[in-house]
Structure 1
């Protein structure tokens, strides 16, 4: 019975018009817009191979080194910019055309329904098998392209942020990212204690929004980005980012240095989210003046820590009092203590340090000392 079916299929295979089927496949493929970039000299041989393989499949055989052929074709289509959906559509349309012609010819030759079913199954199996190879080759090339683009993007970012390019070179290299000499940009440098820098890069891209051509990547173990507009949303998770801008393209290096400085200060202060110079101005000064911080720490913090058994409570109370506009009722409510308890703590602090917290200059020095204490690793309550 099997031989009879194979003989019937061989009869139909011998009647299939090879040249006409090749031309029909080329016509179907040409109707897919993205295939305009594929030369006819490549489409026609592929169509011819499809016919040859269908003829072999009807005889229960495989033809030639088809796996590598299809993978290579898939790779070439990816490099030519043909989307994988169009690649599969072209291949499956071609196989469907061959199947339909097989069924038409089979009916004309009056072969059995069982033979027709077997032939159709073999053609579809052929399409599935080699279609998967086609897809695998396309994906391999896409991954290669993605890796290459990532390397190029990382290299471009490093050169932009290190200032090793002229403005003309920046514009020429960054054309795909919308870099122009007549626009202003924002620079971010971000990190997270619990998230990989590559994942943080994704956080920056999502925060930038779909409208921004974000040039994002990794640098020095952190996530970095150059944006054409300010970040539109808060950062997810425990990400901290220093933001500098707006700045002109030739000053990206200076912007990156500022973003780095802001990030380092924000990290030391335990801040989360996006910090810019407006948010970090005074604390950035504290971080950049360690000698002054040591002097004020010795004057206003060390006497309290050395002489008082409740030194931590005193310092916490002073910090809260200063953050609440030196309002005793507001600070007491924030600390969940009675106003008289707060007054006692402030008086005790004044006795130990000789600091008059009603004097604005002295109050600012105490605030500075408390911020320096925070940088040194002794956490203070944030209002």
Structure 2
């Protein structure tokens, strides 16, 4: 009896493999039950049904459901449908309808070939497990496709922002990006650059920059160990990093703001450890980084003579910085240094003796501010 059942099963599978009767009804059923498939061509749907029939025949013949990783057809078909605009729910439903039609035909053939009920139950279970395996591979393809789309969109966004900052966009491209990324065309934006940090530190800095900002209020791009981008509203403060802001400009004029932000950062680096810096906050200090030859001459004039002062070599510049930082008020400067006022006066006097420059001179004060910055 078992030998006869085996022969009947083989005959059924061969008949199913060449059965054309299942193709057209399955196509019509898919279109009838799933609206999004109505626009698909007959050739497209026929190819899908034949593929599903082939998978079903292989599963029944081997009496084993292939693992999701082996059903490459599921990924190919899913990606094809996703690119055509079909939702994943309809893609999965389409396969279930197809398998259901193939199963109905299999049961009908099983009855024609006189297969016992236990064999029909086993075949039914195999085909539904095939449907589950297909769905698992399709869902995996969908997730991967979603990540690919998100990555591609991020690349497009970053490329647009980089071109905006560099001034490479036409007015039409600026308008298109403003619409796509919901940027305001009425107000202005400040370009910014940050100090260089590790990836972990940059992420912390990024979180501080975007905190409290909605869509269209900030665009940020990591670049060469820094963050660059645009901000809609002023940035009050940040910790563990320097953010240099350019002036407010329209989107078309953002490259100018970005260039100025670079100048601000250049003036601040090495002097400012943390916080937000602007042209306004740095003031005359913006000029320091632009006059290297002048600074070398000033160092020669004011710092080189101190090399012969022994223990005072480092203490005199410290005294001068405190003196300038406290508005040339000796008691306040002495308090800031935790020294007696006479100690501070002595150090300032030694500076005048060694350099031959008077601290009563405006030129001396200005030049010291530059060289000590």
Give the drift of 1:132.
1.8
With over 3 angstroms needed to count, the CA separation of the structure-2 counterparts of 1:164 and 1:90, relative to structure 1, is closer
How many residue pairs get matched?
355
- In structure 1, the partner of 2:292 is 290
Secondary structure, counterpart of 2:229 in structure 1: strand
**C-alpha distance 288-322 of structure 1, shift in aligned 2 (>3 A):** same
> 2-side partners of 1:213 and 1:2: how far apart?
75
* 2:188 paired residue number: 184
Contact 1:57 1:126 in 2 (8 A): no
Is residue 246 from structure 1 mapped to residue 248 from structure 2 by the alignment?
yes
Query: Following the alignment from structure 2 to structure 1, what is the Cα–Cα distance between the partners of residues 234 and 185?
Result: 18
Are the equivalent residues in 2 in contact too, given 1:78–1:141 (CA < 8 A)? no
Kindly state the Cα deviation for residue 312 of structure 1 after the two structures are TM-superposed.
Answer: 0.8
Which structure has the bigger radius of gyration?
A: 2
Q: What residue number does 2:124 align with?
A: 119
Indicate the residue corresponding to 2:75 in structure 1: 71
Distance of aligned partners of 1:168 and 1:99 in 2 relative to their CA distance in 1, 3 Å threshold: closer
CA separation in 1, counterparts of 2:300 and 2:4? 100
Shift of 1:259: 1.4
CA contact (8 A) 2:49 2:98 kept: no
* Partner Cα distance (2:336, 2:116) in 1: 91
Give the match for residue 163 of structure 1.
Answer: 167
Match of 2:49 in 1: 48
Cα distance, 1:91–1:356 mapped onto 2, change above 3 Å: same
TM-score, L = length of structure 2: 0.70
**C-alpha contact (below 8 Å) 2:59/2:126 kept by paired residues:** no
Which residue of structure 1 lines up, in the alignment, with residue 318 of structure 2?
316
Counterpart of 1:352 (choices 351, 354, 366) is 354
Superposed CA offset, 1:81-105 (max 9, x none): 66xxx52x444445566778859x9
Please state whether the residue corresponding to 1:297 is helix, strand or coil. helix
CA–CA distance in structure 1, aligned partners of residues 229 and 369 of structure 2? 34
State the superposition RMSD in angstroms: 4.8
User: Is contact 2:184-2:216 (8 Å) kept?
Assistant: no
Query: Structure 2 vs 1, CA of residues 27 and 363 (structure 1 numbering), >3 Å: closer, same or farther?
Result: farther
Task: Show the counterpart of 1:234.
Answer: 238
What does residue range 94-173 of structure 1 map to in structure 2 within 5 Å?
94=94, 112=117, 116=121, 119-129=124-134, 131-132=136-137, 135-136=140-141, 139=144, 142-143=147-148, 145=149, 148-149=152-153, 152-172=156-176
Aligned 1:326-365 pairs, distance under 5 A? 326-328=328-330, 330-354=332-356, 357=359, 362-365=364-367
Show the counterpart of 1:264: 266
CA deviation after TM superposition for structure 1 residue 179, in Å: 5.2
Q: Deviations over 1:2-48 (max 9, x none)?
A: 98599689979979977666555556654xxxx69x94449855873
Q: Could you report, residue by residue, the CA deviation over 1:159-183 in whole angstroms, capped at 9, with x for unpaired residues? A: 4333344434432455423456544
Q: In the alignment, what sits opposite 2:281? A: 279
> In structure 2, what is the equivalent of residue 379 of structure 1?
none
Q: Is the 8 A contact 1:266 1:272 kept in 2?
A: no
State the Cα distance separating 1:200 from its structure 2 match: 4.5
Whether the aligned pair in 2 keeps the contact of 1:321 and 1:328 (CA below 8 Å) is yes
Q: Name the SS for the 1:304 alignment partner.
A: helix
In the TM superposition, residue 121 of structure 1 has moved relative to its aligned partner by 4.8
Q: Secondary structure at the match of 2:199?
A: coil
Q: Report the CA distance between 1:352 and its aligned residue.
A: 2.8
Structure 1 unmatched ranges of 5 or more: 372-383
Q: Cα deviation per residue 1:239-260 (whole Å; 9 max; x = unaligned)?
A: x432213102332222221111
Q: Deviations over 1:65-119 (max 9, x none)?
A: x95543333333444566xxx52x444445566778859x97x989656863663
Instruction: Measure the CA separation in 2 of the matches of 1:7 and 1:213.
Output: 70
Q: Report the alpha carbon displacement of residue 368 of structure 1 after superposing the two structures with TM.
A: 1.9
d(CA) in 2 for partners of 1:201 and 1:191? 13
- Whether the 8 Å contact between 1:75 and 1:140 is mirrored in structure 2 is yes
CA distance in 1, matches of 2:136, 2:322: 68
Deviation at 1:201, TM superposition (A): 8.3
